[in-house]
Structure 1
């Protein structure tokens, strides 16, 4: 049984006609004690193409042979070589051709499901924003023209080693490793994303911006790339540029990708707030909510407007409503719990403020503002040891100039109290 057999089986069991193009087979005869013809097991691996810029892989396995279609095909005799160590393509040409033909018949009439094609208009707008090296759609490149994943095993191991360094808190070493990888493999979108995120954690916003811009060029079909550029420009205070990037993301994100279209409008709302454009912020917040009804941006923005005006008592109910509305979301909103907790703490409602701040730190451990707010709450409620530990944690999770500066500021403030 294969995954591709599920839909034909369900349709058959419901007495519905099979849809054209389905590659599986119905298993209903097996339920009544009958048999079905033996069929090879089909598999595909597309991650390497869309995330690393390498060729995709397709395979077909029968009772004896495993065949992998790649830039350089592979064929293994499972009866004599279960570990698939000896490639027999050159030795068993007839079997190779038969397996390849069977695989091609199985996939005939189907196309690779690309993440999304980038229209000519969108490409022109990307170029107008300065993206001069925008890559073609991932589905546009012939597999034979792409690197064979089996030639990139060492690169993948270097990538995993760099990820391990991040987990160990060795950020500078990890960043150096990631940069070495893309120097030789510039189409690895995931690595550019890692560089951008890590540079932000290290407080190197300009470096992060450059990495995210490169990500857009490598993966223009990915709306997260443009939004990352917009968010970083917002952080840098370059609001006009940020708005242009986020607006393009909102317009070009696939119609069926509600999450990222909503995120684009969320970013546009935050840019409007930074420009003191409350009307624009409310409009973008509503668009975000209409795109993704689980995203409580209207309440969040109303809370931020009041929070920024120092009206913490008026802001807290909106944050509480937003938190309640977003409880069922798989991807939670960063900073929502921070703003709720900080507003309550400023009102000296410490017992109410502690749970959302604690939860913010749990969900987003690199949110330094939430950690600082929690340290101040502990100090205000007479828990000096807990406050000291919270400050120490800031340096542990952010062993950067920013983290050390924040911890030092808190320690000086606590000493002077």
Structure 2
């Protein structure tokens, strides 16, 4: 995938399916690869058939896609992002892209004329209702073929674990149903503020981090991620009451995993506020969740000593 650099308010990737992240070059090299530039669109589903083709292995009859060594057909490419659903409980995005048009199914669906508007800035869906309806029928048919009738699209423990292993922090509980009315377009400003805040935090620019994270919370008071980072920011700024407030708020919000650092942050603030007895339960819980956490162990010893 590509990286968005502010197009449509997106600063990275995975929130939207605009061409800034979806349209990327594919470079194929090898002894049996013909030398040519293929301007027509292809899709990731074409990669596996291509590898099989290069090794003269016949593909299975139901394998999607076609070899990149062959000339592409007219079929529209499928695009999707489930990150809004899995990470934030918002609506996922599904769409189809031809060389001329892109259709995006969303709470407020979109249709773009890619020839006249490659930046996807003018939604033509009200001007082209029949075309949008054809795309929607095609999309619905494809999704029906790929999804079993009993499929549950909610986030389960295994999916959440895989996301965390990849460095993504899912912010909804396993089993939670997404709010299909929540359009990711409406959350773009909050996600951008959160990204800027986390970026500033990692660079130890805590004054800037605070400003962005407070803005993210203003836009989405229920963001556990924003409260968590703001609690850590307030610790670095020695704003102990604020650090405690945001750590405790983050602990109230789902999902309730990987919370040992939050308990440690709350305890650190309580110790600074002269409340060691109140810090002890947080630190004991942190040690239960992360028995090898040296900072929590050190703070627990300090809190118990001061509470005597």
Give TM-score scaled by structure 2 length.
0.58
CA distance in structure 2 between the aligned counterparts of 1:19 and 1:198, rounded to whole angstroms: 55
**Equivalent in the alignment of 1:87:** 123
CA deviation vs aligned residue, 1:30-75 (integer Å, no higher than 9, x gap): 44xx445333223333444455554332232112111112110000
Q: Which residue of 1 aligns with 2:226?
A: 191
Q: Give 1:139-288 correspondences, 5 Å limit.
A: 139-144=176-181, 146=182, 148-156=183-191, 158-159=193-194, 162=197, 171-172=206-207, 174-220=209-255, 223-224=257-258, 226-233=259-266, 235=268, 236=271, 238-245=279-286, 247=288, 249=289, 264-267=290-293, 271=296
SS of aligned partner of 1:60: strand
Unaligned runs of 5+ in 1: 119-133, 250-263, 277-417
What's the counterpart of residue 39 of structure 2?
Answer: none
RMSD over aligned Cα atoms: 4.1
Structural mapping, 1:324-403, within 5 Å? none
Deviations 1:225-271 (A, max 9, x none): x1222332553463433333553x5xxxxxxxxxxxxxx3422x664
Residue aligning to 2:28: none
Q: Distance in 1 between matches of 2:299 and 2:286?
A: 16
Does the CA contact (< 8 Å) of 2:234 and 2:240 recur in 1? yes
- Contact kept in structure 2, 1:51 and 1:190, CA below 8 Å: no
**Number of residues of Structure 1 aligned to a counterpart in Structure 2:** 236
CA deviation string 1:83-134 (max 9, x = no partner): 222212222222112212322333331765737389xxxxxxxxxxxxxxx9
1:253 corresponding residue in structure 2: none
Higher RCO (Cα < 8 Å, 6 or more apart): 2
Task: Give 1:309's aligned residue.
Answer: none
Alignment of 1:6-17 (within 5 A): 6-7=47-48, 10=51, 15=57
Q: CA offsets, 1:326-373, max 9 Å, x none?
A: xxxxxxxxxxxxxxxxxxxxxxxxxxxxxxxxxxxxxxxxxxxxxxxx
**TM-score (normalizing by structure 1):** 0.45
Checking the alignment, whether the CA contact within 8 Å between 1:45 and 1:58 is kept in structure 2 is: yes
Matched, 1:114 2:151: no
Of the three residues 110, 132, 137, the one matched with 1:96 is 132
